Amino acid sequence: MAVNYEPQVFLFLSEILGIKIVDSEGRAIGKVLDLTGNIAEIYPPVLDILVRLEKDKKIVLLPWRRVAEVNGTLIFHTPQPEDFREPAPRSGELFLKDTLLDKQVVDTDGAKIRRVNDLQFLKVHRDLYLVHVDVGFHGLLRRVGLERSVAFLLRKLFDYTMTDQLISWKFVQPLFSPDLLRLTIAQNRLAHLHPADLADIIEDLNIHQRSAVFRSLDAETAAEILEETDPKIQVSLIQDMDTANASDIIEEMSLSEAADLLGDLPKDKAEGILREMEQDVADDVKELLAHPEEMAGGLMTTAFLSFTPDVTVAEAMETIRREAEDMDLIYYIYVLDGEEHILGVLSLRDLLIAKPETVLSDIMDKRLISVNIEEKKDQIADDFAKYGIMAMPVVDDDERLKGVILFKNLLEVVAPKLGK
């Protein structure tokens, strides 16, 4: 037939599902139920077609590479017996409609959870690659079958043309099942999100998706996420995990956050996790746990650096460089005498501009602000507001340094006062 047929470059899944599949003579083979793709690739190529056969209604897989043409129907090269396969996907192969269409995915570019209205494929020669996920209203209308009438109305009434809202597949993380998350763990796209965004997304997910997503993350990312999540959700996430994994993650958290979280957990779970943790981290956390949460002792962290007065700037910098990764605070360092009384404080800036051979006691600031370990939250917040510092040393009744409170750990108390 001499029809002006322009080859389509893009195809939607909704245009392929349900259409007839015929052989080159035009005899019906069956109906398309689903497509499978290899999701190990960045843009998954379509591998097989799930077909309900015309003659005996059996459901089988046929290889996509034997498709000659897509044009309202799928034209399949005369099928050979070896083309028919049991409908069981191979490893890395995924039923696209079943796992993606109408399901929720994470758009890691926009940091949002979206619902998939359609899948868009790019046709290169005879191969089909999954390139975009359609999350827009236009795609929804196409599925409903009202695309044309609504588009017509909008154009006539408002002179408005609908556009597709497509997300590139490389920014899409499926959420359908725990298996799927595990399958794509090598290229888990969630890890590219900022922890704060990912924490938001996790809070929006339901209880099953939440733990599935959380388990798919490495301990370091998981710890970052936990620090950003609501305390109630923190507890439910950790309670769903076994003690060994939970302790790996909690070790990666900052000391004060870890202590807060363990304080919220049921007692035996918390103790189990503490036993699994590295001894020195566990000891530090236990020390923090001993203090009530609303007092200075419960807010402080013990992961900071202190030096004796005779240390030089060069030596101090060397220590900072070595230890910084495990510290909650490096912007201030404290100078202590032999009995842990604070003599002075230096900022990282002081160290950077000082000559390397200078001794700390020569340049330290002796005008010190500190709070008692039993000081209340509100008072500490007032002090922060008054002195404009980033961290506050905490001392016991004998004026010995016990820890420091970071400004950010007090934000929920400070923030309401900021407006005033």
Partner 1 sequence: MLDTLSGIVRRVRQGFAGKKYWRSFGLFFALIGPGIITSNVDNDAGGITTYSLAGAEYGLGLLWTLIPITAALIIIQEMCARMGVVSGKGLSDLIRERFGARITFYLMIVLFLTNLGNTISEFAGVAASLEIFGISRTLSVPFSAAFVWWLVVKGNYKSVEKVFLFACVFYLSYIVSGFMGKPDWNAVGSSFLKPAIQLDKGFLTMAVGVIGTTIAPWMQFYLQSSVVDKGLKAEDYQYTRMDVIFGSIMVNVVAFFIILLCAITLFQNGVKIESAKDAAQALAPLAGEYCSWLFAFGLLNASLFAASILPISTSYTICEAFGWESSLNCKFLEAPQFYGLYSLMVFLGAGIILLPDMPLIGIMFYSQVINGAILPVILVFMLLLVNDRRIMGKYVNGLAMNILSWLTVAVLTILTLAMIIFMLI
Least distance in Å: CB of 143 to partner 1?
Answer: 4
Whether 172 and 105 have beta carbons less than 8 Å apart is answered as yes
Q: Collapsing DSSP states into helix, strand and coil, what is residue 111?
A: coil
Choice from 54, 228, 287, 350 touching partner 1 (CB under 8 A): 228
Least distance in Å: CB of 301 to partner 1?
Answer: 15
Residue closer to partner 1, measured from CB, 236 or 306 = 236
8-state DSSP, 189: G
Q: What is the dihedral of CA 175, 177, 179, 185, to 10 degrees?
A: 10
Q: Collapsing DSSP states into helix, strand and coil, what is residue 404?
A: strand
Kindly report the backbone phi and psi dihedral angles of residue 29, in degrees, each rounded to the nearest multiple of 5, phi listed first: -100, -45
Residue closer to partner 1, measured from CB, 116 or 404 = 116
Distance CA 40, CA 156 (A): 45
Residue closer to partner 1, measured from CB, 231 or 292 = 231
Q: Which residues pair with 85 in a beta bridge?
A: 61
Segment interacting with partner 1, rule: CB under 8 A, options 20-28, 156-164, 302-310, 408-416? 408-416
Percent helix / strand / coil, the chain, rounded to 5 = 45, 25, 30
Q: How far apart are the first and last CA of the chain?
A: 78
Q: Quick one: which of 75, 56, 188 has its CA closest to 126? A: 75
Contacts of 397 (CB under 8 A, 6+ apart): 372, 373
144 binds partner 1 (CB under 8 A): yes
Least distance in Å: CB of 165 to partner 1?
Answer: 11
Q: Binding pattern to partner 1, positions 39-68, x when CB under 8 A?
A: ------------------------------
194 binds partner 1 (CB under 8 A): yes
Q: Binding pattern to partner 1, positions 343-382, x when CB under 8 A?
A: ----------------------------------------
Instruction: Please give the full DSSP string across 307-325, using - where no structure is assigned.
Output: E-TT-BHHHHHHHHHHHGG
165 binds partner 1 (CB under 8 A): no
Whether 96 and 36 have beta carbons less than 8 Å apart is answered as yes
Residue closer to partner 1, measured from CB, 63 or 178 = 178
Distance CA 64, CA 70 (A): 11
Choice from 77, 90, 115, 355 touching partner 1 (CB under 8 A): 115
Kindly report the backbone phi and psi dihedral angles of residue 376, in degrees, each rounded to the nearest multiple of 5, phi listed first: -80, 155
Choice from 15, 53, 66, 104 touching partner 1 (CB under 8 A): 104
28 binds partner 1 (CB under 8 A): no
18 binds partner 1 (CB under 8 A): no
Choice from 36, 38, 209, 301 touching partner 1 (CB under 8 A): 209
100 binds partner 1 (CB under 8 A): no
Choice from 65, 123, 170, 408 touching partner 1 (CB under 8 A): 408
Q: Quick one: which of 348, 338, 335, 339 has its CA closest to 309? A: 335
258 binds partner 1 (CB under 8 A): no
Give the C-alpha distances (Å, rounded to integers) separating 18 from 34, 172, 368.
8, 25, 75
Segment interacting with partner 1, rule: CB under 8 A, options 20-28, 72-80, 153-161, 203-211? 203-211
Least distance in Å: CB of 206 to partner 1?
Answer: 4
Residues that bind partner 1 (CB under 8 A): 101-104, 112-117, 135, 140, 143-145, 194, 196, 199-200, 204, 206-209, 228-232, 236, 408, 411-413, 415
